[in-house]
A and B are shown apart, each in its own frame.
Chain A
Amino acid sequence: MNLKKVRTYKKYSRYWEGFFSKNPVLISGLALPFAVMVSVNLKSAVALSITMAGTVIPTVLLASLIGQKLPKWICAIIYTVFSMVMVVTCAALILPMFPEIVDALGVYIPIVAVNTMLLWLCSKYSSDKPSPWMALVDAVMYSLGFAFAICLISLLREYFGNNTIWGVAVNFPIKFSGLQIAFAGFILVAFLNAGFRGLKRLILFAVYRHSNPKVT
C-alpha cells in the first residue's frame, strides 16, 4: 500500500482546505443561519460574503498576532469589538452597492461579528502556535469557501424558487416557491453537504488509486 501520494495531497490540501475539504458551510456546518435564512437570492449572498470576508480576515489575523500575548478572558471582548468595527465598515462599503439588500438582511449583518466560523478560527489561532501566514491563508480560504457555498445555495434557491438570477427573470417551466423558506435551505445544505463529502472521498480515492492501481 503506497500512501505517498495521499500524504502529499493531504499536505498540500492544507492550504485550500477552508475552501473545499473543510468548507465552513458545506462540510463543517459552520455559519448555518446565513446559509439557511439569508441565502434566498444571489445579491444577498454576495453582500454577505463581502461582509464576512471583510470581518473574518482582519479579525483572524489580529487573533494570530496578539492572541497568545493577552489573557483569554479579554481576547473574546477584543475580537468581538474589533469584528463589530469591521462589520460596520463593511456595511458602509456595501450599502451604496446593495442598498435594498442591506435593509433586507437586517439583523444578519451584525451577527456576522459573532458567527461560529469567525469564533472558531480566532480560537484556533489564539491557542495554537500562532502563525500569521497560515492564519491569513486560512481566513482567506474559509471566507472564499463561505462565499462559494452561500452563493451556490442562493443561486439554486433563486433560480428554482423565484425563477430569477441576480433579480433578472429567467425562463424555467416550474417555480418551486417553497425553496425560498428556511426548511428548504436546511434540506439543500444537507444534500450539498452529502455531495461534497462524497466528492472529497472520491478525490482521495482517485489519488490513492493513482499510486496503487492494482491493490484493492
Chain B
Amino acid sequence: MKLNRYPAPHIRFRESNKTLMSDVILLLLVLCGLAFLFYGLRAVAVCAVSVAAAWISDLVCILIRGKKPNFQDFSPIVTGLIIALVMPATIPYSIVVSAALFAIVVVKHPFGGTGNNLFNPAAAGFCFAAICWPNSVFMYPTPFDKIPLWGEITVKLSQNPSFVLKLGGIPTNDITEMMLGNYPGPMGATNILVILTCLVFLLFRKTIRWQLPVPFLASAAFVAFLFPRVGTNGVQSVLFELMSGSLLFGAVFMLTDPVTSPKRDSSLAVYGIFAGVITMLFRYFGGFEESVPFAILFANAFVPVIDRYNEGFHRLIRRKNLELKKSKNIQKV
C-alpha cells in the first residue's frame, strides 16, 4: 500500500485549500470594502501594499528554497489582508510592508512554508509591528475623516475603547455605533455585525468549525463577566470586551487558521478556551491593549501538546469501551 504524506491543512471534504482560502479572501475583501467606505482610498492602498509585500516575499522565499511556485496557493494574500485589516488606516506603508515581510520571511518559510508553519504568520506580523511601532499601530483615525493617500497624516488620531478599558475607565462609545463599526479602531475589525455575519458564513460553508471560535468567545466573555474591568455590571463588561479591539476579528480570521490549530474537535474546544483565557489575561496584565494576536501566538505553541494529550485521552476512552464490550460478551457467553 502506498501512503502519501501531505502537510496540513488536512481537508476531508470536496473543498480544496484554494476554495477555503477563497472563502476567507472573499470575506476579507468585504471588510476591505467597508474600510474603504469608512476611511477612503487610503484603506484600500494599505491592503494592496500589504498583500503585494506578502505575495512577493512568499514567491521569493519559495524560489530561494528551490521549490516550484504554486500560484493557486492564496495563503500569502490572506496573511497580507489580515495584517492590513488589524492596522489603523493611517499606518505608514513601510510598517505594513515590514509586518508582511516578517510574517512571511521569519515566521512562515523557515518552518517549511504553507502548511508547516507553527505560528500564525499574520498574528506574528502584527505583533512585530506592535512591538516596533506601538505609537503608529495603536492610534486610530475617526471614521469618515479624509486621510491623504500619500504624505503626512494630519487627521486627529485617538485611542480604541480597549485602551479606555485598559486604563480602568468606561468607554463612552454607543453600543449601536460599535456594532456598526463607527468608532476609532483597526480598519477591518470594528464592524462587529459584519464580522459576526462572516463567522456565520464560514460556519455555514464549513470552512471553519464552530468548536474553535465559539469556546474562544465564550471563555473570553466568561472571564470578562466574572472579573469586569469597567466599574459597572458584568454584562456591560462582556459587551465592551468583545466589541473593542480586534477580539472578534481574531476569533474569526486568525484563530481559525487550519494549519496552526489542533486537528480534533475536542482539541479545538480546549485550544479555543485556552486562547480565550490567555487573551483576557493579556488584556488585564499585558503591556498593550490589543492582546488577541499575542495570545494566539502563545496558544499556537501549545497546539502540539493539546493534540498529543487529546489523542491519548481518546485512545484511553476507546480502550475502555472495548474492554467493556469484551466483558459484556464474556458475561453473555
Contact = CB atoms under 8 A, between A and B. Distances in A.
B17 interface: no
B128 interface: yes
Contacts of B182: none
B133 interface: yes
A194 B65 CA distance: 13
Contacts of A127: none
The number of chain A residues touching the other chain, given as a range, is 10 to 19
Nearest to B129: A178
Interface in A164-188: 173-179, 181, 187
Nearest to B97: A174
B106 A187 contact: yes
Interface string B216-242: 000000000000000000000000000
Contacts of A194: 110
B94 A176 contact: no
B98 interface: yes
Contacts of A179: 132
A179 B95 CA distance: 14
B132 A176 contact: yes
B153 interface: no
B54 to A, nearest CB: 18
A178 B99 CA distance: 12
B131 interface: yes
Nearest to B128: A178
A178 B94 contact: no
Contacts of B128: 178
B131 A178 contact: yes
A146 to B, nearest CB: 25
Contacts of B110: 190, 194
Contact of A177 (B94, B106, B133): B133
Interface residues of B, number: 9
Contacts of B132: 175-179
Nearest to A179: B132
Nearest to B107: A187
A102 B110 CA distance: 36
Interface in B66-106: 94-95, 98, 106
Contacts of B131: 177-178, 181
Contacts of A173: 94
B161 to A, nearest CB: 26
A188 B95 CA distance: 19
A152 B131 CA distance: 23
Contacts of A181: 131
Contacts of B94: 173-174
Interface string A187-216: 100110010000000000000000000000
B98 A176 contact: yes
A156 to B, nearest CB: 14
A174 B106 contact: no
Contacts of A178: 128, 131-132
Contacts of B95: 174
A175 B128 CA distance: 12
B77 to A, nearest CB: 24
B287 to A, nearest CB: 11
A176 B99 CA distance: 11
A177 B95 CA distance: 12
Nearest to B127: A178
A213 B257 CA distance: 48
Nearest to B95: A174
A10 B98 CA distance: 41
A173 B97 CA distance: 13
Contact of B98 (A174, A187, A190): A174
Contacts of B133: 177
A176 B94 CA distance: 11
A141 B106 CA distance: 31
B57 to A, nearest CB: 15
Nearest to A194: B110
A107 B131 CA distance: 26
Interface in B93-142: 94-95, 98, 106, 110, 128, 131-133
Contacts of A191: 106
A175 B129 CA distance: 11
A194 B95 CA distance: 26
B71 to A, nearest CB: 27
5 contacts: A173-B94, A174-B98, A175-B132, A178-B128, A190-B110
Given A174-B95, A174-B98, 10 more contacts: A176-B98, A177-B131, A177-B132, A178-B131, A178-B132, A181-B131, A187-B106, A190-B110, A191-B106, A194-B110
In the A-B complex, the 8 residue pairs with the closest CB atoms: A178-B132, A178-B131, A174-B94, A177-B132, A176-B132, A178-B128, A187-B106, A181-B131
